[in-house]
Amino acid sequence: MTCCEGWTACNGFSLLVLLLLGVTLNAIPLIVNLVDEDHSFQNPISCFEWWFPGIIGAGLMVIPATTMSLAARKRACCNNKTGMFLSSLLNVITVIGAAYCLLVSVQALSEGPLICNSQGNSTSTCEFSFNNLTAYRLEPFNLQWFFNDSCVSPTDFNTQAVSDPGAWGGGRRYTLHFNSTENRHRIIHFSVFLGLLLVGILELLFGLSQIIIGFLGCLCGGVSKRRGRIV
């Protein structure tokens, strides 16, 4: 077969699973915020869940390619040049959405939750600007906010060090539990955006593979022939 319906259908099923996983992961901090505070838009875990990387990037932008690929199971979309071209074209949207999800997740992991970066700890301190997103550089990337015993801001570090010299000792690292709001937000933030990072990477790979398959099938000009019925 010039157009591999089996591989296309596999891509579609994989994208469907990743789509649902991305939406679920993105919804977790929003639900936790709503349950904990009993209202939205106050004291969020971070600014980045409100960019909706899983709901928009890994979710809505993946639906067209997923639908097209799953239709290949019935050989309804992938047995002509037009179908092959559309399959590749729609997966370009998937790649863009996956790249968006990946970029937001990387920046979220680098900066950590709001409790580690903002005294206000509310969406009023969030700057929703694409300039901030595209201007991000990988050089300062680290996860010290997660692995340190506490992720208080540098301005509070000196004060804590004076009042409690042993609070930042090496022997108290890696003691994350759900026994405080800070630790709970750190664990949820790390788990959610690490998951979204993996979802973005996988969707990117599946989208690129389908673009290549559709493009090669369109170039070869082959049409998947239906098997004749045996009477």
**Domain residue limits at 94:** 5-136+182-220
Residue 130 included in any domain: yes
Give 166's pLDDT tier (boundaries 50, 70, 90): very low
Residue 163 included in any domain: no
57-73 per-residue burial string, b: 16 or more CB within 10 A, e: under 16: bbbebbbbbbebbbbbb
Residue 214: its pLDDT value, please? 81
Asked if residue 217 lies in contact with residue 83, where contact means CB atoms within 8 angstroms, the answer is no
Phi then psi for residue 78, to 5 deg, are -120, 30
Structurally, the chain folds into a number of domains equal to 1
For every residue of 109-165, DSSP letters joined together read HHH--GGGT-SS-SGGG----HHHHHT--STT---HHHHSS----HHHHHHHHHH-T
Sign of CA dihedral 47, 26, 150, 170: negative
Residue 175: its pLDDT value, please? 54
- Predicted confidence (pLDDT) at residue 123 exceeds the cutoff of 80: no
Residue 127 included in any domain: yes
pLDDT tens, residue by residue, 49-76:
989 999 999 999 999 999 988 887 665 5
- Predicted confidence (pLDDT) at residue 3 exceeds the cutoff of 90: no
Residue 161 included in any domain: no
Residues above pLDDT 70, as percent of the chain = 63
Residue 157: its pLDDT value, please? 42
Residue 43: its pLDDT value, please? 63
The whole-number average pLDDT for the span 186-199 is: 95
Residue 57 included in any domain: yes
Residues above pLDDT 90, as percent of the chain = 32
Residue 226 included in any domain: no
- Predicted confidence (pLDDT) at residue 38 exceeds the cutoff of 90: no
Q: Which of 27, 147, 15 is nearest to 91 (CA)?
A: 15
Residue 157 included in any domain: no
- Predicted confidence (pLDDT) at residue 162 exceeds the cutoff of 60: no
Sign of CA dihedral 164, 165, 170, 171: negative
Question: Which residues neighbour 156 within 8 Å (Cβ) at sequence distance 6 or greater?
Answer: none
Mean residue pLDDT across the chain = 75
Query: What is the pTM for the complete model shown?
Result: 0.78
Cα–Cα distance measured from residue 22 to residue 93, given in angstroms and rounded to the nearest whole number: 16
List, in sequence order, every beta strand (DSSP E) within the chain: none
Residue 159 included in any domain: no
Cα–Cα distance measured from residue 228 to residue 231, given in angstroms and rounded to the nearest whole number: 9
pLDDT greater at residue 228 or residue 51: 51
